[in-house]
Structure 1
């Protein structure tokens, strides 16, 4: 090797170690940064050894796509489970002690006790109090369910704003990647930014990625194939409502003019939090509300007063339980949901002592006037009369028709229906819990594998730094040797 070639080789080593040190330093500075992908200095053989020709990004597109998909599924499932846990808390948590079925059981027990002592006015008042507790529980639960829908609406609006901002930032990052790729510049920092935005987007809506020329990227929703980004971001639009009632439907959410579908099932198909929120607002909570409305309708129907004689000229009218204005209330149609009835149901004021009522009308009848009196104390009736009370006790265990859209039994007793309602909720919650465990594990595993593959290992970088140090020492030794040789040559010339 000539002295000139040796000098060129030494210079090449110094250049390489400088670039390699810069790459390793950048890697070490980003240890623990989940949005940073490890860089590697790529060497190429030359006539004088090797030279750093580029800085490669240790990317794994298949693992990134798997991470994005698992993130979307985890996010949608977690939203659903959180909502179901919130619904469960309305009814008292694990034991469902505040559920309609619990209050309905207490009402039946108090009726049964009153039937044994129909002359005890205190027991009559106890029945009315139990009925009031039941009606109040339905009112409260209904209002809380609609509050959950309102909160879901507000959260959707916030996430739509966030998604639009993320897509705008994605456009900037994508343009930077394309520009750097086309010009031969280093696109790695822009790629890191773009990938981090992809992760954020995937938690809101499922993303399908298509990479095109010059590293350009297009985004579509993973479940419906709606365009999210193609050259420019597509508009995501949604108008929330101020509040909800049982009879109100939520506004649709649109991406590029196409309505986004809600998730389905306890192991939800929701990909991203928006689909999960839609499922909670438009499916899970309304189904629970429908069941409460059917319980309220059943109560009004079973405790309705019937005409005392057999002529049948007067209609059945709400008795113990009524709604809105009792003077105009009618018994709802059988087997059909009356939207919002659970929020409106109440005990008839003519039975409430504090409102000037008489709870013993429950025993005698006549809440709706003389035509409905079953036990006329002024005309041969007695305080020992219990037939009407016992008919209510029996009615609670008698099968009636329920609306089939409520997803539980359509021909069963009110007591069993109320119990099945909580069973449906618990089954949904348990299914969502199990699915959430699976999807959480899948997401964490995918993220871990992706991080291990593309992330920075401090031990590896420090080891590589030692190797670079040895290369640098070899170069300095070569330069020192060349210097000695040149000095010897110059002394010989003298």
Structure 2
């Protein structure tokens, strides 16, 4: 090896060590940055030994796609579970002590006690109080459900705004990647930012990616709608501020195509938007239908036959415009919100609780009006109605035939079943997400031990190059001295 060749080799080594050290230092500085992918300086053989030809970014496209899928599935599942948990809390939590079924069972028991002692005014007052509790439970749960729907609608609006922002930002970094790749410049930082945005987008809506020329990336939703293709597509939504049982929320449109809501406890939703749509448009309305059917059943059970026809008795409708006949098997939207106890039997409102025994509109049991009378036929009929099967609308998604108590208990069971399925699915999907993220990080994350070991190797390379330069210097000095 000539002295000039040796010097060129040393110079190349110094250059390589400097570039490799810079890359290692950047890796160490970003060791705690989850959006950063490890860099590596790639060497290639050259006439002077070796040279750094590029800075390569650690990546695994298959793992990245699996990670995006896991994020969207876990995000959708967690969103649904949060809504179902909120619905459970409306009913009192673990013991469901605030559920209509709890108050209905108490009403049935005290009504039977009153029927056994029909001359006890205190028992009549107790039954009326129980009826008020039932109506209040239906009212408050129905109102809470509509509040939940309104909150879901507001969350959808927030998610849509955020998604539009992320897509615009994605376009900026995707353009940098595409143009930089075409020009042959370093685009690793832009790739980091683009991948970070992808994970954030996936939490909102399921994403499939397609890589095109010059590392250009196209995005499609899980059902095939174009989300981003060179430019971002419009995501639009018109929020609804106030919800009642008769109000239907607006759709979320991506490039004019509506986003499909998730389905089931183990939801098919990918991303938070589809899960929020499921809560707003399916889960909460189904539960609302169950409450409305309970209200319809109660009004029918306690209705009274008068000379003018069937009228509402103990339970009445508070100004709701419905047909006179509630015996038809069909959900009356919002009936549970307006069901009330007839003020004619509420003492604090000038009523008489004993009318529950004697008849509110016509006197059936006690024609003579004797306050000591003990007629209990009407009370026994009411108590028997709790054991009589009735037909419920299929929209309630539980048994269509059964007693009012069985139906109300079935409503709790329906909620607990779907919530249990959501909980199990949430655990599974989050566990899969954890494993996927761990596998991806094993490929892309920075290991401080590896980087520090590399720096030690680079130090030894620097020392070896320095010795080579020193040896060449000594040889040139000796040569010059010999030449005189």
TM-score bracket, normalised by the shorter chain, equals over 0.9
Equivalent in the alignment of 1:400: 390
Instruction: Describe the SS at the equivalent of 1:50.
Output: strand
Separation in structure 2 between the aligned mates of residue 29 and residue 226 of structure 1, nearest angstrom: 39
- Would the aligned equivalents of 2:237 and 2:253 in 1 still touch at CA under 8 Å? yes
Q: Structure 1 residues 20 and 379 mapped into 2: Cα distance closer, same or farther (>3 Å)?
A: closer
1:169 partnered with 2:169: yes
Instruction: Describe the SS at the equivalent of 2:43.
Output: strand
Alpha-carbon shift at residue 332 of structure 1 (Å): 1.7
Alpha-carbon shift at residue 491 of structure 1 (Å): 1.1
Kindly report which structure 2 residues correspond to 1:215-364, keeping only aligned pairs within 5 A, or say none.
215-222=215-222, 224-307=223-306, 314-325=308-319, 330-364=324-358
Separation in structure 2 between the aligned mates of residue 176 and residue 467 of structure 1, nearest angstrom: 34
Alpha-carbon shift at residue 381 of structure 1 (Å): 9.3
Alpha-carbon shift at residue 377 of structure 1 (Å): 3.9
Q: Deviations over 1:106-140 (max 9, x none)?
A: 10111011011100111101100000011001000
- Would the aligned equivalents of 1:318 and 1:331 in 2 still touch at CA under 8 Å? no
TM-score (norm 2): 0.98
Equivalent in the alignment of 1:79: 79
Separation in structure 2 between the aligned mates of residue 360 and residue 167 of structure 1, nearest angstrom: 67
Q: Deviations over 1:376-395 (max 9, x none)?
A: 34278962101110111110
- Would the aligned equivalents of 2:105 and 2:405 in 1 still touch at CA under 8 Å? yes
Alpha-carbon shift at residue 326 of structure 1 (Å): 9.5
Equivalent in the alignment of 2:457: 467
Equivalent in the alignment of 1:44: 44
The correspondence for 2:404, drawn from 408, 414, 429, is 414
Structure 2 gaps, min length 5: none
The correspondence for 1:457, drawn from 424, 440, 447, is 447
Task: State the Cα RMSD in Å.
Answer: 1.4
- Would the aligned equivalents of 1:323 and 1:329 in 2 still touch at CA under 8 Å? no
Separation in structure 1 between the aligned mates of residue 188 and residue 234 of structure 2, nearest angstrom: 28
Q: Deviations over 1:248-290 (max 9, x none)?
A: 1111110000000000000000000000000000000000000
Instruction: Describe the SS at the equivalent of 1:43.
Output: strand
Structure 1 gaps, min length 5: 308-312
- Would the aligned equivalents of 2:265 and 2:419 in 1 still touch at CA under 8 Å? yes
Across the two proteins, how many residue pairs are aligned to each other? 484
Instruction: Describe the SS at the equivalent of 1:278.
Output: helix
TM-score (norm 1): 0.96
Separation in structure 2 between the aligned mates of residue 50 and residue 346 of structure 1, nearest angstrom: 87
Separation in structure 1 between the aligned mates of residue 130 and residue 9 of structure 2, nearest angstrom: 95
Separation in structure 2 between the aligned mates of residue 38 and residue 117 of structure 1, nearest angstrom: 82
Kindly report which structure 2 residues correspond to 1:81-100, keeping only aligned pairs within 5 A, or say none.
81-100=81-100
Equivalent in the alignment of 2:35: 35
Q: Deviations over 1:272-326 (max 9, x none)?
A: 000000000000000000000000000000010123xxxxx63211100001149
Q: Deviations over 1:348-384 (max 9, x none)?
A: 000100111011111011x23x3xx212342789621
Following superposition, which runs of at least 4 residues in structure 1 exceed 3 angstroms of deviation?
325-331, 379-382
Separation in structure 2 between the aligned mates of residue 118 and residue 377 of structure 1, nearest angstrom: 15
Separation in structure 2 between the aligned mates of residue 85 and residue 25 of structure 1, nearest angstrom: 47
- Would the aligned equivalents of 2:9 and 2:48 in 1 still touch at CA under 8 Å? yes
Q: Deviations over 1:23-63 (max 9, x none)?
A: 10010011021100111101001122110000011111111
